[in-house]
Chains A and B, each alone.
Chain A
Amino acid sequence: MATAAPVASPPRKWIHIPRPLQKLFDTFPLLAYDGNALPARAQSATFGDLPTLYVFSTEEAALLGAPSFNPSCLKWQTFLKLAGVKFQILPSTNHASPTGALPFILPKRSSPTDAPSPIPSSKFHEYALKFGTSSPPEVPALRLDAYQTLLDVPIRNAWLQALYRDPEYTDLLDRLYISPASSSFWVRGALRHQLRRAAESEILKTGPGGTASTALTLLVDEQAVYRAAVNALEALATLLSESNTGWFFGAETPTLFDASVFAYTHLMIKYMSDGKSERQGEEGSIFAERRLGNIVRRAGSGELGGHHRRLFELLWPVDSSTVFLTDKA
């Protein structure tokens, strides 16, 4: 009987029920029909043969499997694709995540009503190795940790500063994170304020420009943030120029580190470039224009731009690439 499991009543554990009564109990319910169908809204979310990757995205982009607009979602989306994991994408919000942050994977269901437990992004690496078709190479740990911090601190801070705190990108912020959440002016305002304060405290926590914040510091030193990002991107470009395979640390095929770099370079190039990107401005204006995409393209002698293009074309084949690469406002 379908309902036998959940209805086990607690008294039965400590009151011994005589056998005939037990038998009588077991005859209930007298009649069991098939289950109720799920609501309309749930259906696209609950059926499918593939595991679902929950990321920040839009409905249309998710259908096409386009890159997410959130750096850490894009990093893992890229890595899972590199590892040859098959998955479908569902646009979502941080509220849906068991850890409070996207992305996470919900494995496919074995039966229509079982609830698979979600896999947080910290376990994605193992997941990819287990279910992927190709395993991206591991790179030697030497220097990797140090370069990873360049992404985690200065480059991330610059992304946060540009997207959340720069008035020029208010529209972009609204389009990506605010408008999908609610159509209400007030809710949007509150969310925007919350996001901005959160971004600000994130930047301050790791210090202005990646240096330790001491005390009472409430102000972000924007110039230092951008300068640190420029230096970090230069350093990455230098690192890449040493590799003769075109991927970081001389790996044969792209690694997780390539995916991490790509996550930022792709978003910066896609959302924060302008047409005259190749113009080499004078030294001071690199901070003035705050176009992170241009800074990425210009870093070193263009290695990062090339790396981005190679990886993008590898994962998102040419026919669709123009759609995903340019930001349609």
Chain B
Amino acid sequence: MTLELHVWGPAFGLPSIDAECLATVTYFAQTLSAADYLLVQSSPSAVPSHHLPALYNPSTATWTSGFDPIVSYLSTLQPPSYHHPDVTTLPARVNADSQAYQALLTSSAAPLLALSLYVSSANYAETTRPAYSAILPFPLPWTEPLAVRASMAARAAHLGMSSLDTDAEMERLEKEEREREAAGWVQVPKALRKALGQNTGVKGQLSPEMKRRIKLEGLAAEVFDVLGEIDFLEEEEEETTEGEEGEGRQRIKVTLETKCLAFAYLALMLFPDVPRPWLKEVLQRKYAGLCEFVVEYRKKTFLETGRPLPWADKETDPAVSAADSALSVMGRFVRAVVDDIPTLGREWTRWWSLRQRRVAEETSTESQQLVVRRSVGESENGLLLAGVGLTLMAVNVVGLGIYSYRYRGLLGAPLQTWHKPLVVSSLGAAGAMFAGLV
């Protein structure tokens, strides 16, 4: 049995560009032997769950996606193919702490990473987008990175740092200006406006990252301070930390999963070579411990093992070549374009992904997947059908309208005439005689 792990492709000297995928790969590298699984470079549109990482178990035709679910799924497999980390011997406390820090990583570190790699226009344009272009088959780089960026921006929205997205910011400013002009209230000539100092002065020349530096550093510190509480490199100092309860600062131990996840986020903060390296700098300047962990962990997991990661060969592996065929790529591209249609596109995508998931579940031989009952939103197929029906009806009505307009038996004529009812004339001369009598 060979498991297929579908992940975003490698970038920045790391096995995956996406944190969750990277964490999964890291976890696999440490718990599975390379013969037991295959890494497939993919993108969300190629898997039924529309979410990477996704694990496919060919023996049961089961898809599992997301870091947590995949790790849980692995633990249900049998040991020959999977080396369980020693969970049972760990104190309950470690498991509990790990849950908490894992939640923290995904809820706080992820937005931070999103700010650095996706929201910041400079970083996105110079580093992230090219990296995506390198790992996606043409023409998907036109659609998928945009979708990723949009969802990342949504994740980071609550931090209130959208001004890092200078594209969006410029658009907003221009729009405001246009509105102001359209309203005709303030008509400041362009030249004068510059002099008024909208984009001049020291502040105008600072990049948005520099302006927001202090707040950004604060945000980063909040996350790194908490992560700093974790004793990541415990293996090396196992003996020393044992029994040091009495010492003032007790460091927190976590499970392998949590380490993998922490590594994934921190590595993507540290390794990419970005033009606005504020996050990297904060990390390097103040959190040497975390940097050390990331570098060490990478060395230990990927560089020093001597075992290359089991990437699927595009040429030979049937699973991969099918997914990467020109037809399938085109299909994914078209779906992404359709998704961009306002309102309807979203509804359609929702329906499509539901269908795909259902198909995936039905083909699966494991029944456990069906345990959770469907949520309400997902039984809205009827709504979609009704929408399609209504649209078709509307098209028909409009078509009929045009038809009857063209062949306007109904709709008017250049000359319309009313005659006196010919009661008289119809009787001819005799009738006319009677008419005279009446």
Partner-B contacts on A (CB < 8 A): 142-143, 145-147, 149-150, 152-154, 161, 164-168, 170, 196-197, 200, 205-224, 226-228, 231-232, 234-236, 238-239, 241-242, 284-285, 287-288, 290
Contact = CB atoms under 8 A, between A and B. Distances in A.
Given A215-B147, A216-B147, A165 B376 contact: yes
A235 B99 contact: yes
A225 to B, nearest CB: 9
B152 to A, nearest CB: 8
B128 to A, nearest CB: 13
B99 A150 contact: yes
B68 interface: yes
A211 B20 contact: yes
A306 B340 CA distance: 50
Most buried by A among B49, B346, B368, B371: B371
28 contacts: A143-B229, A145-B104, A146-B101, A149-B103, A150-B99, A200-B377, A207-B66, A208-B69, A209-B69, A210-B68, A214-B148, A216-B44, A217-B50, A217-B51, A218-B353, A219-B350, A219-B353, A219-B357, A221-B51, A222-B375, A223-B371, A227-B69, A228-B103, A231-B99, A238-B92, A239-B96, A284-B371, A290-B372
Contact of A149 (B68, B92, B108, B252): B108
A214 B99 contact: no
A212 B68 contact: no
A178 to B, nearest CB: 13
Nearest to B336: A216
Nearest to B114: A212
Most buried by B among A208, A221, A285, A287: A221
Contacts of B151: 213-217
B321 interface: no
Nearest to A173: B376
Nearest to A196: B377
- 7 closest residue pairs by CB, A with B: A238-B96, A235-B96, A165-B375, A146-B100, A235-B99, A215-B148, A149-B103
A164 B377 CA distance: 9
Contacts of B376: 164-167, 170, 196
Most buried by A among B67, B107, B154: B107
A325 to B, nearest CB: 27
Contact of B106 (A197, A210, A239): A210
A226 B34 CA distance: 31
A210 B109 CA distance: 12
Given A214-B51, A232-B100, 17 more contacts: A146-B100, A146-B104, A152-B103, A154-B103, A161-B375, A166-B376, A168-B373, A200-B377, A206-B106, A207-B66, A211-B20, A212-B20, A214-B148, A216-B50, A227-B72, A235-B100, A287-B372
A147 B104 CA distance: 8
Contacts of B51: 208, 213-214, 217, 221
Contacts of A224: 66, 68-69
Given A146-B226, A219-B357, A153 B103 contact: yes
Nearest to B352: A218
Contacts of A200: 377
Nearest to A146: B100
B18 interface: yes
Contacts of A210: 68, 102-103, 106-107
A203 to B, nearest CB: 10
A215 B332 CA distance: 13
Contacts of A216: 44-45, 50, 144, 147, 151, 336, 339, 349, 353
A227 B373 CA distance: 14
A170 B151 CA distance: 29
Given A149-B100, A153-B103, A222 B372 contact: yes
Contacts, number: 181
A235 B102 CA distance: 11
A165 B103 CA distance: 22
A207 B375 CA distance: 16
B19 interface: yes
Contacts of B93: 238, 242
B231 interface: no
B84 interface: no
Contact of A212 (B44, B50, B98, B155): B155
B68 A228 contact: yes
Contacts of A242: 93
B26 interface: no
Contact of B100 (A143, A166, A196, A220): A143
Contacts of A170: 376
B68 A209 contact: yes
Contact of A214 (B18, B72, B350): B18
Nearest to A199: B377
A206 B437 CA distance: 96
Contacts of A142: 229, 252
Contacts of B252: 142-143
B97 interface: yes
Contacts of A236: 96
B219 interface: no
Most buried by A among B8, B144, B372, B379: B372
Contacts of B377: 165, 196-197, 200, 220
Given A145-B226, A222-B375, A238-B95, A214 B368 contact: no
B378 interface: yes
Contact of B68 (A150, A152, A161, A227): A227
B110 interface: yes
A307 to B, nearest CB: 15
A238 B93 CA distance: 6
Contacts of B95: 234-235, 238
Contacts of B99: 150, 231-232, 234-235
A302 to B, nearest CB: 15
Nearest to B150: A215
Contacts of B100: 143, 146-147, 149-150, 232, 235, 239
B52 interface: yes
Contacts of B52: 214
A146 B350 contact: no
